[in-house]
Structure 1
Amino acid sequence: MNDLMAIPCVLMRGGTSKGPFFLSNDLPGDIAARDEVLLAAMGSGHPLQIDGVGGSNPVTSKVAIVSPSDRPDADVEYLFAQVSVLERRVDTSPNCGNMLAAVGPFAIEAGLMRASSPLTVVRIYNVNTNTLIEAEVQTPNGRVTYQGDASIDGVPGNAAPVSLTFLDASNPDTGNLFPTGAKLDEIGGVSVTCINAAMPMVLLRAADVGATGYETAAEINQNIDLLARIEAIRLAAGERMGLGDVADRVIPKPVLLAQPRSGGDLSVRYLMPHTCHPALASTGAVGIATASLHEGTVVSDLRGVKNPPATVSIEHPSGKINVRFSFRNGIAVAGILRTARRLFEGRILVPSEPYDRSPVHVA
């Protein structure tokens, strides 16, 4: 096997996503070489990702790269990579809040920080979005536990809770919360809200593009005309948000909104961006809920304005997710509950030719 390189790797589930977790210094320092390693590891370029560990779906074709941080306000740094299934493309522009749920446990067990008891707060700097998140990890007797009574829709069974607090996702002082300069825009005859809170998104009423907002993910994925109309709006929104040509990027994410059906505050269908998420991205939930705090957005026009402290309950194809807003230093911070599990640890084998041992640069 001298033509293969063995790289230390841990396969983890974070929230409703899963993928390999790497320490940054185990990957190439050159970005192009690093991406080749990730594409080979996942088996991208094939619908089944048959020659790698990817799960042939965007929610199972994700990678986390973790390193210690020199920042005084963070313990570790987390670079998220969305690895395309069908194309040989790696996108590091977005964050992933579901994979984020496993960063704290991974960092502790990798020895990047010392655990306390009964829980450990891991301060995470997300390199993709330049944001800070706190993760509360259950660590009785100073050891990570994955067993517990918490449950989240979209994942079977129970597990230990991981509480995530997005410290500045909804902070209007960043100057980029509504990147078009308006809370409401019109694109292609449709009223939309372009927001950048945890994840750049374009929010619109499902009815305005001929949908109900209650479709299954499969029904949306099969509706070619609907997807084409949404994509046209997304491309125009990307330009207005200052993201440029987003045809080959996974941001902004389009989100279809509708009135709730099961006691929540609203129903959503979140696209990734060309297929519908089977549940809802955690960062997407934070951004959608943040829009409800501001008068004049598509969300607040649909369901009214929320005033912190408050909980926003969002219905999605697999159930619900709640976003809790509280105040810290006068700023509304967003909290969600996720779970995580360590699935496999060992070494992943990739072709050795593009690989080198220089440290990765995640900035």
Structure 2
Amino acid sequence: MTRIFLSLTRRHRPLPLIIQASSARNASTSPRPQNRLPAAYYRGGTSRAIIFRQQDLPKDRTEWGSIFRGAIGSPDPNGRQLDGLGGGISSLSKVCVVGPSAHPDADVDYTFAAIGVKDPDVDYSSNCGNMTSAIGPFAVDNGMVECGNGQATIRIHNTNTGKLIHSTFPVVAGEAVANGDFAIDGVSGLAAKIELAFINPAGSKTGKLLPTGNVADVFDGVKATCIDAGNPCVFIEAFDDIEGIILPDEFDAHPSLLLRLESIRRQASVAMGLSNDEASTPGSIPKIAMVSKPKAHTLLSGELVDEGVTDLVVRALSVGQPHRAIPITVALAVAAAANIEGSTVKRCVSSGRVDPNGITLGHPTGKIMVGAEFDERGHLAHATVFRTARRLMDGIVYWK
């Protein structure tokens, strides 16, 4: 028997070309190198995602889907994504792409993809507000934008919505600062504060703040407000038989709640012009959330919070799953709806605000304040949230 030994040093081993999606699906079981690409892994707010530089991906975007699924570990019928970097829930099954921008008012372009956990969906229909907080730091860390020491503001053009976001955070020695004294609910520890200013967030996908032309519509006998600010959203008041302070595990355990909410969401999608019929409704939008008046309630941590610390309680879904905090874009839409008379949100908001600078929303892991500025017509012209983010790793991501 003849044995052949190959010796390769990491320094001289070239990166192989990307295997086409169709080739990967039909590949034999014969030995071959794994596919690989430069990538980074960041936490942004209460989410995590793989971030690619656009220059490292194929120019043909139809080839991106197989790369994203392979790197994340989808689809996984077990719902765990153990063969990739996903975490088995929607907030941990995400990919971002960052590159130079041709937009005159932006420094970088940012494209977001929500990756199905159990299904092969790669959904570009919406933005992720939480991961937006990682895009400025990624751009600085990767030398896409030159910044001196001190506060830096990176102008981000989100290609999913066509909207601009200004991200402001501290920089030292050409790197986004990670340590600090700011905390967000749902993430342990302290970190550097990142200010996200969403510029004119209304009409992100439909071009209108109220896509149906109505402040309130009725789906399955339930009054709903359909609004497009940050992302298209549908807000209903908590049902009589279900408390608005319900936690994510209770959503999952309820025999019919998720199906009921999904039916309303799909009908709203058609009414908002996001899909031609219920069957073609995107997985990511519209987002749907239940809202209710402030009430003392227990968080996922077991901590009991008083009624007086929030202006409104929100329970949101993301890609069919109960969100363990709140999507930032949902928080923006809530802030917009809270200023519209007759909306389901306005009916539930406390009369006196906890913080005069904005609206304080309660979610399963705590609360978040959204600073909001409205124009003379009462439309949301500018919204601000504060998050944290940091680089967890960078290097090479592999997929089969």
* Alignment TM-score > 0.5, same fold: yes
Match of 1:213 among 244, 247, 266: 244
Deviation digits for residues 50-87 of structure 1 (CA, Å, limit 9, x no counterpart): 21111111110011100111211000010000001001
Q: Unpaired runs of 5+ in structure 1? A: 352-363
Deviation at 1:294, TM superposition (A): 1.6
Deviation at 1:143, TM superposition (A): 3.3
Structure-to-structure mapping, 1:45-56, within 5 angstroms? 45-46=75-76, 47-56=79-88
Match of 1:238 among 259, 269, 272: 269
Show structure 1 runs of 4+ deviating over 4 A. Answer: 304-309, 327-331
Rounded to whole Å, the distance in 2 between the matches of 1:297 and 1:26 is 45
Q: Unpaired runs of 5+ in structure 2? A: 1-30, 296-305
Provide the residue aligned with 1:10 in structure 2: 40
Deviation at 1:19, TM superposition (A): 1.2
Structure-to-structure mapping, 1:1-363, within 5 angstroms? 2-46=32-76, 47-140=79-172, 142-170=174-202, 175-207=207-239, 210-244=241-275, 245=277, 246-261=280-295, 262=306, 263-303=309-349, 310-326=357-373, 332-351=381-400
Deviation at 1:222, TM superposition (A): 1.9
Aligned alpha-carbon RMSD (Å): 2.2
Q: Which protein, 1 or 2, shows the higher relative CO under an 8 Å CA cutoff with sep ≥ 6? A: 1
Letter of the structure 2 residue corresponding to residue 312 of structure 1 = I
Task: Return closer, same or farther for 1:143/1:156 CA change in 2, 3 Å cut-off.
Answer: same
In terms of mean alpha carbon deviation, does 296-305 or 107-116 score higher?
296-305
Task: Return closer, same or farther for 1:147/1:184 CA change in 2, 3 Å cut-off.
Answer: same
In terms of mean alpha carbon deviation, does 295-304 or 216-225 score higher?
295-304
Provide the residue aligned with 2:18 in structure 1: none
Contact 1:309 1:325 in 2 (8 A): no
Deviation at 1:293, TM superposition (A): 1.5
**SS state of the match for residue 7, structure 1?**
strand
Letter of the structure 1 residue corresponding to residue 321 of structure 2 = T
Deviation digits for residues 141-170 of structure 1 (CA, Å, limit 9, x no counterpart): 553210000000000000001100001114
Contact 2:200 2:382 in 1 (8 A): yes
Letter of the structure 2 residue corresponding to residue 270 of structure 1 = A
Rounded to whole Å, the distance in 2 between the matches of 1:147 and 1:305 is 37
Deviation at 1:341, TM superposition (A): 1.1
Task: Return closer, same or farther for 1:140/1:124 CA change in 2, 3 Å cut-off.
Answer: same
**SS state of the match for residue 388, structure 2?**
strand
In terms of mean alpha carbon deviation, does 157-166 or 245-254 score higher?
245-254
Task: Return closer, same or farther for 1:327/1:117 CA change in 2, 3 Å cut-off.
Answer: farther
Letter of the structure 1 residue corresponding to residue 153 of structure 2 = V
Contact 1:84 1:90 in 2 (8 A): yes
Task: Return closer, same or farther for 1:182/1:248 CA change in 2, 3 Å cut-off.
Answer: closer
Letter of the structure 1 residue corresponding to residue 222 of structure 2 = V
Task: Return closer, same or farther for 1:128/1:224 CA change in 2, 3 Å cut-off.
Answer: farther
Letter of the structure 2 residue corresponding to residue 119 of structure 1 = Q
Letter of the structure 2 residue corresponding to residue 258 of structure 1 = S
Deviation digits for residues 302-322 of structure 1 (CA, Å, limit 9, x no counterpart): 226899973100000000010
Letter of the structure 1 residue corresponding to residue 371 of structure 2 = R
> Which structure: larger Rg?
2
% identical equivalent positions: 38
Deviation digits for residues 185-217 of structure 1 (CA, Å, limit 9, x no counterpart): 111111100011001110000125x32111111
Rounded to whole Å, the distance in 2 between the matches of 1:196 and 1:305 is 24
Rounded to whole Å, the distance in 1 between the matches of 2:351 and 2:57 is 45
Deviation digits for residues 228-278 of structure 1 (CA, Å, limit 9, x no counterpart): 111111110000000114445221111001111232110010001411100
**SS state of the match for residue 79, structure 1?**
strand
In terms of mean alpha carbon deviation, does 52-61 or 134-143 score higher?
134-143
Aligned residues: 349
**SS state of the match for residue 147, structure 2?**
coil
Task: Return closer, same or farther for 1:69/1:329 CA change in 2, 3 Å cut-off.
Answer: farther
Deviation at 1:3, TM superposition (A): 2.8
Deviation digits for residues 120-141 of structure 1 (CA, Å, limit 9, x no counterpart): 1000000001100000021145
Task: Return closer, same or farther for 1:259/1:327 CA change in 2, 3 Å cut-off.
Answer: closer
Deviation digits for residues 2-61 of structure 1 (CA, Å, limit 9, x no counterpart): 532220011000000001100011112223311000000011111111211111111100
